[in-house]
Structure formats: structure tokens, C-alpha cells
Structure 1
Amino acid sequence: MPKTALHRPGGHAPAALLTSLAELLRQWLPRQRWFAGKGHPVTGLSVVSSTELYPGCLHLLIRTEHLGGSDDGGPGTPPPDDCYQLLLGAREVLPPRLAPAFIGRPSAGPLADLSVYDAFHDPDAAGLLLERLRTPGAAGPLLFERDPQVTVPPGLAPRLLDTEQSNSSLVYGNSFILKVFRRVQPGINPDLEVPWALARQGCSRVPAPAAWFGTSQPREATLGVLQPFLRDASDGWTLALQSLTSGGEFTEEAFELGRATAEIHVALAAAFPVRAPSPLQHRQLAAAMSERLDTTARSVPELRPYAAGLRSAFDALALLDAAIRPAQRIHGDLHLGQVLRAGRQWSVIDFEGEPARPLTERRRLQSPVRDVAGMLRSFDYAARSRRPWRPHWAQRCREAFCAGYAAAAAWDPREEPELLRAYETDRAVYEVLYEARHRPDWLPVPMAAVGRLAEGAGERRGEHPTEHLTEHRVERPAERL
């Protein structure tokens, strides 16, 4: 590693680092896929912590302030300030292989005239990160830990996956995968907490954490989790599209996926507390869903004509006066892109929940019907990503998934029609906002579901909710939500 200006004992004061980095990061951060404040200019930057992992490589937690941010932190609006995890390298000369990671060349401060780059792209930095995880201990405010029963070999070649959205992932030797949480919130991340608890329950549907790291200052937070890499597995989204392309069925796979989901829910109910919902909590949940609907309708004009019909699903939920399915820990963002199949075995990954939501909300007890609704919406998305549109493919998958779930859970999600419709409606509203912000060409996909859910036709006539969808053809496979 070439000697750089970072090669000084004790590193640099935060103010000095910002002299070099502030302007570069103001321009670079909003262009990153994992940056939550899209469309909201960065008005302030501060260094929460800085740790020199080795000369030329800095681990940083950077707090950003956003123009137009709000405390409710909904999916369309960032909070007034946020915290991001960066691993920055600084070299006098940047080799060609690291050119895509280039951030800029500061003109002032301790990094003046050095090439600053995203060091997660650098095999040297990624290899050192693995060594830190292999040998637990502290590095400044960073704390590295691992499961003593798991052996992580040294020298595994790293590669950065290029398909990440809200985080970054490094694969080591096709044996382990390190998920790095770019957006950092105080508290233990569910993507560490839940798989660890499931492993203690003996649930084999989720890869168990092998090692992890976090920070203790200024508050405890999870920064990354290392898990076994399922090298021979295919994700459910890819498998579903292959089925649609070949004209085949996916009902057997959907049934087994429903069974796997139920097994995870049963294990989670044993590992964490459960709570029977009260009528007041039904009303509170319905009110939160209605508020998200109102917020989205203000941002997406296409949704406004359907708002009253969609709200009827939440009104029906608010009227429930009997205890229904107990609330518990769940996945929180379940869809076909979050499941992997190797042979006949389904595994579930990414228990982080919706990254745009506050961490306390993602760790909250919720109905398992929310996960079911997320997967049902995913079958619809897959069906609409291929020509000709095959609504009955999605319908059969939905039925098979629920049947598989019922076989393992001893209760059928279709027995909770008000809850299922409310959660599916809430998910469709989320999809509308996501597509309007990120992929406007795909907005008609959730809008077709919005039209069906607003009418509530299937519920009134006793038909399956996937019937009566309006066909919309799309030209390319949907990026996984």
C-alpha cells in the first residue's frame, strides 16, 4: 500500500477531515443508490466517528442534514438528519481497477491532492475487513465479534456485488457474504438479531450469522453481518421469471415457499414475545396505514382517485373488535427477491425490514399476515413482468403459497380477510410511491392492483383478490422491490 497523508499516528480531527471531504461528499452521496435523501439537498455534514483501519483507509460514520427533511421519516421524505457508513481509501495514484470507485481529489485539508475512493471496491480494504471479523476485538469505537463455533478461513478473495440497493455486500471466496449497512441507525439491526435468534431455535431456513461488527459511540449500532453464502442458490424472483418465460407452473415452488415462511414465523413466535392485538391497536394500525395513503396521494397524483376506495380496507381493519392473529416478530419486507432456493430447500434472507423505516418500527411486533401480503404482491409483480400477462399464474401461486403456509402454521392467512386486504393495500401504496420515485415506467404495475383493491370487488363477491386485474404489459423484468 503506497504511503499517503493518512499515515500519521492518531489520524485526523473531524473538522480537518471535513475540510477535505465535505464538498466531495455533498456531490457523491446523493448519487448513491443507498442514499435515502433523494431529491433533498445535503445542507450539512459532520463526522460522527473516524477510525483509521490502516494507512490509507478510513472508516467513517457521517451525519448528513437534509433540506426538506421531516421527523416522520416516511418512505418519501428523509429525516432532517441521517447517518451513513463509509469506507474511504486515499492514494496518490489510483490504479485503473479502482477507477469506478473514485470520489474525487480534495484541494485542501489533510487529504489534499490524494485520490479519495470508495474502499469497499478495494480488495485490500475488503480483505482487511474480513481479517478484523476473523479476530474479534476493538478498533477505536468499532467492535468486531464472531460466533466461536464458526471457522472463517483466512485469505478468502473478496468481490463486491453490484446488485445491491440500500446496502453493500461483499462475497468472500463464495463461502461467506458480508452485508454492510450503509444507512446506520442506533440499536441492533434485525438482520443480525433475527437470524441469530432463529439459529438458536434450530431453524435452518435462515443463514446464521458467523461474525458481525458495530460501533459503541456515540450510541451502539450494527454496521455489518457476515453469513454463509449460498453459492448454488437462485433467488425466487429469477426462478419465477424463468417459470413465466417457459410457460411453466410455479405452484409447487410457491407451496414450499409458503411452508418455509410459516416455519420461520413459528420459530420467531418461539424466540420473541407475542401479543394479542386489541381493538385499539387495530384502530392505530389502520390510522397509520391511512396516513401513509394520504402522504403518498399528495406525492403521486395518479393515486388520488382511488384513495377513498383504498381507505375502505383500512376502515374495515379499524372495525375489528375481536383478537385475531397475534403480533410477533416477522421478516418485514418479504418478497421473491428475499428468498433463495437450492435444490428443494427455500431459505429466507435480508431480515432488515424496509430500510426507509425507523429501526424501532422495524423491530416492532407485527402481524405475520404482513409478510404473507408482501409475497402475494410479489407474485403479481412477477406475472406482470412477462408477456403475455398471465394473471392466473399469479392467482395459482397465491393460492399455493397460502396452502403451504397453512400446512405448516396450522392456520390459513385467507381466514383473516380484513387483515390480508389491509396489508396488501398498504403494500401496494408503498409500491406506488417507490415506482413513482425510482421507476416511473413501472407505476402502472402497482396501480393496476390499486384499482382492484380500491373496488374491493373480490371481497364483495367472494372471489380471489387476484381476479379482475387490468392487463398492463411491461418491456423488461422488474427490478426487485
Structure 2
Amino acid sequence: MTVASDLLREWMPHQRWFGGKGREWADVAESGFFLERESPVLSVHRVQVGYVDGGQETYLIPVSWHDHPTDELQHAFIGAVTFEGRELYGYDAMRDRDATVPWLQHLVAASTVGPMHFHPAGVAYIPEGLPGDIVSGEQSNTSLIYGDQAILKLFRRLEPGLNPDVEVHDALRRAENEHIAPLLGYVEIDDPDGERPPATAAMLQRFVANASDGWRLATASVRDLYAEGDLHADEVGGDFAADSERLGAATASVHKDMAAVLPTEPADEGWFRRLAEQMNARLDEAIQVVPQLTEHADGIRAVYAAVAGIREPVVRQRVHGDLHLGQVLRTATGWILLDFEGEPARSLESRRELDSPLRDVAGMLRSFDYAARHMLVEQPDDPQRAYRAQEWAERNRTAYCSGYSAASGLDPCGDSPLLRAFEADKAVYECVYEARNRPHWLMIPLNSLSRISSGD
């Protein structure tokens, strides 16, 4: 289906999951194969984009083909081509419900179709025959929900090797950890040249039904607090601290099992030194994008310098890598942690490196700050709201750390220079993100860096 190359080249840059926006293309190569030849015909395409700056990315694009225009799929229309003497109309197959059925059928059958291999996980039930409904709002990947039983995540950007999301979920499934959605299967696709390991194309997990998103719950609590002008955070009906404490315990449980079933090793002086160097390098790059960081730079570098001098024992292990309130779900029985693939912008190799669990703790603490302060964007000069936001953030940060400590026997939030540095590093990353995507939110990480760098 190389006839689709020009269509995909025009369509891709407008998709939310495409990470090369704003970069000039140097070349593009496309290859495809048929995953399903019944109606609708389903083809899968790999599009490799080379950029003028020397970078290169490969994207996975399933396309469904119809022999006539389909009005209900107009929102997913890619374009029309002439193939083998007839006109075909191509649509984003992840938005075509009829074209979503084969993914689970092939997983049940453990199929190999062309370069694509389907691997069911153990004896877990896979709901064969159901169509999938797309999850809106995702940025890096595309997910389908099959009834209330399973969720398939398609990894849009392909990289050689097993995706950490599959690797960690499979390990935690074997450990029977109660704070994850068990892995049901995954899909790999061979390297076209056969020189590198297969890339992970998709994964299937049990769907967590009747669950509430952590970010929505936390921000609802903040709104309740703002609505009660004369009450403290612990007096408001929507107090979130008990949930934060349970979330801390759930995080500790996941970290403990990850350390038990995946590799660990002690951190040496060289690792601390390299970590500080990497953080300083990211700060240098961020200042080019966010000049306002300059006034905090000396204080931030002092925080990083303290990391280079750490001598107490630290055990490195696999971690979540991108933990925040949007990556957790609350169910009737507890918290579920999602998306163990790490920060999608980083290479797969770097996301699989051993790290300190404090990176995840820092990510969640930053998320509490965001939840508390996101409404200050509308009224930045309201000292009463600012005070209440700080009170809510401190209460829930403390509760989270207490829950983690009670479950693990380790206090993650003591006077740790490593935790402080991870928080600063995350806030620097947030500054770049906000400057590029939501400039009016930039005040949130900048204010946090002011506190972190001044030692408050």
C-alpha cells in the first residue's frame, strides 16, 4: 500500500500524536502491509520521517479502506487513492469501529501477520469480537476501549526494543501487584531491515471500570476549598488528604514489587555526578526557551551541586518515570497506577535505565502543586487564594509522603537533596512545556522554582 505515502505525509503533521511539529522534513519513507483483507480492508503503515536537523522518527498508522465515502467517518478521513484500478477511501482505522475488531482477534489467535506478531499474556481473558471506542484527549499514543473489559494502547512512535509499559506491567502482573491494570497481551513489529530488535506496536490491558481520574479528584477538592472562604483544607468536605495518603502507599507498593522482580543496583559516586551534569545541561537548554529561568539559575544549580556530593547509599531500580495525578485512577478498592512507559520525549533506552524511586515521588509532589495552583492562573494577584493553594499543596504532599513511609518504612520526603533536585528538574521541564504550549500557566513552575531554589 505504498500508494498511501503521499496521503499520510500530508495528514500526519496535523495529528495530535505527531511529535515533529515545527521541524522541517528532509525525507520520508513509507512501507505497509495488510492486517485484514475483509471489509473494511485494514492496512498498517510505518512512516519514517527524516528531519533537516538530522533527527529521525518512525510512526505507526493503521488505515481502513472503503470503496465509497462514509459520512460517519468523515472526521477520520485521510484521503482517496486509486488502487488496482478502483477508487479507495482511507480513514484513520483507530476511529473506524469496524476496523478495530481484528486487533483482539489476532491477539487471541497469537497471530503473525507480515512483520507483526501478536503475543497474548498467559491465560487472561481477551474479549474477542468487540469493537473498540477511541479515547479522546491523548497526546502521544492512541487508545481503544473494548466494552468495559479491555483497553488497547497503540504506540504511535516506534522504537526498537520492548516498551517499558509492557515490560513493567508484565513483571508486576507476575508479582500480582494490586495497584496496576494487568497486562493481557502486546503486539510487536519487526525492524524492516532486520538489523534491530522488534518495536512494540501496541499493548492490551484490563480496563479499569468505574474509576475516577486522580487529577479530576484533586482539582475538585481544590475548587471545594476555594469555595469555602473561611475554612482550612482539613475542614472542607472535599478534603483529599486521605486519598493522597493511600496513593503514597500504593506508590510504595509498586516500587517495592518493581525492585523485587526487575533489576536493581547501588548508585555510585559517578551516577550522582552524571545526574547533576544532566540536570545542569537540561537547565542550560531550558534557559534558551524560557529566559525567566535565568534569575533562578544560580539557586537551581546549587540544588544540583548538592546531588553531586551525595554519599549516603541509594539503590537504583526501575521506576514509573512520569508519575503524576493524571497517571492514576481511584477505584472502590484503591489506587491504580497507569502508563509505565516514562516520558515519551525521552529515548526508550533512557526510559529503561535504573533510577531512584524519588524521581516518581518528585513527579507526584509537583502534580499536587499543579492541582493546587492551576486556578490561580485566573486570579494571580489574589493573596487569599495563593495562601489556600499553598495550604492544600502542603497538606496533600505531607499525606502522600506519610502513606509512602507507612507502607515502605522509608521517609521519601525528609531533607533529601536528591528529592529537591528531582523536583527542580521536573519544574524546569514544566517551564519549557508551558512556554511552548500554555504560556499563561508558566507562573506555576516558575513560582515553584523560586521556592525550591531559595530553600523554602
Shorter-chain TM-score above 0.5: yes
Quote the residue 2:233 is aligned against. Answer: none
Q: 2:25, 2:51 within 8 Å by CA — same for their partners in 1?
A: yes
**Match for 1:386: what amino acid?**
M
Structure-to-structure mapping, 1:175-186, within 5 angstroms? 175-186=149-160
Structure 1 residue 123, shift from structure 2 partner: 1.0
Structure-to-structure mapping, 1:306-317, within 5 angstroms? 306-317=296-307
Quote the residue 1:100 is aligned against. Answer: 75
Structure 1 residue 52, shift from structure 2 partner: 4.0
Structure 1 residue 201, shift from structure 2 partner: 1.2
Quote the residue 1:422 is aligned against. Answer: 421
Quote the residue 2:441 is aligned against. Answer: 442
Alpha-carbon distance in 2 for matches of 1:305, 1:137: 57
- One of 344, 351, 355 as aligned partner of 2:340: 351
Structure 1 residue 450, shift from structure 2 partner: 1.9
**Residues 418-456 of structure 1 deviation map (CA, whole Å, 9 limit, x = unaligned):** 001100001001111111222222212111112222222
SS of residue paired to 1:384: helix
Q: Does 1:223 align with 2:223?
A: no
Structure-to-structure mapping, 1:338-417, within 5 angstroms? 338-386=327-375, 388-389=385-386, 390-415=389-414, 417=416
Structure 1: which 5+ residue stretches go unaligned?
A: 1-11, 70-79, 459-481
Alpha-carbon distance in 2 for matches of 1:116, 1:330: 40
Q: Does 1:130 align with 2:104?
A: yes
Q: 2:127, 2:146 within 8 Å by CA — same for their partners in 1?
A: no
**Residues 212-237 of structure 1 deviation map (CA, whole Å, 9 limit, x = unaligned):** 11112333111111111111001100
**Match for 2:44: what amino acid?**
H
Q: 1:53, 1:59 within 8 Å by CA — same for their partners in 2?
A: no
Alpha-carbon distance in 2 for matches of 1:183, 1:47: 14
TM-score, length of structure 2 as denominator length: 0.90
Identity across matched positions, percent: 41
Q: 2:104, 2:127 within 8 Å by CA — same for their partners in 1?
A: no
Structure 1 residue 410, shift from structure 2 partner: 1.0
Alpha-carbon distance in 1 for matches of 2:62, 2:142: 11
Alpha-carbon distance in 1 for matches of 2:402, 2:408: 10
Quote the residue 1:41 is aligned against. Answer: 24
SS of residue paired to 1:164: coil
Q: 2:32, 2:43 within 8 Å by CA — same for their partners in 1?
A: no
Alpha-carbon distance in 2 for matches of 1:36, 1:328: 29
Q: Does 1:282 align with 2:272?
A: yes
Q: Does 1:242 align with 2:220?
A: yes
Structure-to-structure mapping, 1:82-231, within 5 angstroms? 82-106=57-81, 113-218=87-192, 219-231=197-209
TM-score, length of structure 1 as denominator length: 0.85
**Residues 313-348 of structure 1 deviation map (CA, whole Å, 9 limit, x = unaligned):** 11111112x143211000000000000001240010
Alpha-carbon distance in 1 for matches of 2:9, 2:292: 33
Structure 1 residue 272, shift from structure 2 partner: 1.2
Q: 2:160, 2:191 within 8 Å by CA — same for their partners in 1?
A: no
Alpha-carbon distance in 2 for matches of 1:204, 1:168: 25
Structure 1 residue 281, shift from structure 2 partner: 1.0
Change in Cα spacing, 1:227 to 1:52, as seen in structure 2 (3 Å) is: closer
Change in Cα spacing, 1:296 to 1:111, as seen in structure 2 (3 Å) is: farther
Q: Does 1:27 align with 2:26?
A: no
Quote the residue 1:471 is aligned against. Answer: none
SS of residue paired to 1:63: strand
Alpha-carbon distance in 2 for matches of 1:113, 1:189: 37
Structure 1 residue 171, shift from structure 2 partner: 0.2
SS of residue paired to 2:315: coil
Q: 2:374, 2:441 within 8 Å by CA — same for their partners in 1?
A: no
Which region of structure 1 is more displaced relative to structure 2, 446-455 or 133-142? Answer: 446-455
**Residues 286-319 of structure 1 deviation map (CA, whole Å, 9 limit, x = unaligned):** 1011111111111222222222221111111111
- One of 50, 61, 68 as aligned partner of 1:65: 50
SS of residue paired to 2:181: coil
Change in Cα spacing, 1:367 to 1:47, as seen in structure 2 (3 Å) is: same
State how many pairs are aligned.
Answer: 428
Alpha-carbon distance in 1 for matches of 2:303, 2:69: 56
Q: Does 1:255 align with 2:233?
A: no
Alpha-carbon distance in 2 for matches of 1:185, 1:435: 27
**Residues 152-178 of structure 1 deviation map (CA, whole Å, 9 limit, x = unaligned):** 233223201112111000000111000
SS of residue paired to 1:316: helix
Quote the residue 2:321 is aligned against. Answer: 332
**Match for 2:120: what amino acid?**
R
CA RMSD across the alignment: 1.7
Alpha-carbon distance in 1 for matches of 2:218, 2:25: 39
Alpha-carbon distance in 2 for matches of 1:451, 1:26: 43
Alpha-carbon distance in 2 for matches of 1:22, 1:301: 40
Which region of structure 1 is more displaced relative to structure 2, 33-42 or 52-61? Answer: 52-61
SS of residue paired to 1:313: helix
Alpha-carbon distance in 2 for matches of 1:280, 1:171: 44
**Residues 120-139 of structure 1 deviation map (CA, whole Å, 9 limit, x = unaligned):** 11111101112112211200
